[in-house]
Amino acid sequence: MTHWFAIVMGASLFTLMIPVIYRIWVGPTGFDRILGVNVIGTKTAVLLVIIGTVFDRVEMFVDFAIAYALLNFVAAIVISRYLNRTISLKEMEAREQKTSGN
């Protein structure tokens, strides 16, 4: 019974990633895209734990999930700081409005 529940929850999480992919593709700003990638990374960490439940190796997959979540968090912070230092949000929105207006 636990395996079916884990499979259904994993499939549901995977299905919920599809709208987030749209947000990554469309934007409108770089910060929205970073947030979308971070959401997918978080859901992937949860999926790793669910996969560990299905294969009865939760202790191994929890370690992988923690490492993946840490890398996801650090990457989001690094990219956000890079974007924040290179261009301000107002300048980014102004540039995107100019390109979408043409």
Right CATH for 2-101 from 1.10.540, 1.10.287, 1.20.950, 3.90.550: 1.10.287
Specify the pTM. 0.72
The tens digit of pLDDT for each residue in 46-63 reads 999 998 988 888 888 999
The rounded Cα 87 to chain-centroid distance in angstroms is 23
Report the percentage of the chain scoring pLDDT > 90: 25
Which tokens in the block code for residue 84?
């924040």
Say which DSSP state 28 is in.
S
Contact partners, residue 31, CB within 8 Å, separation at least 6: 80, 83, 89
* Residue 102 pLDDT > 70: no
Residues 36/63, Cβ–Cβ less than 8 Å: no
* Residue 11 pLDDT > 80: yes
Domain boundaries, the chain: 2-101
Cα–Cα distances in angstroms (integers) from residue 15 to residues 12, 19, 42, 47, in the given order:
5, 8, 14, 12
More confident residue, 92 or 68: 68
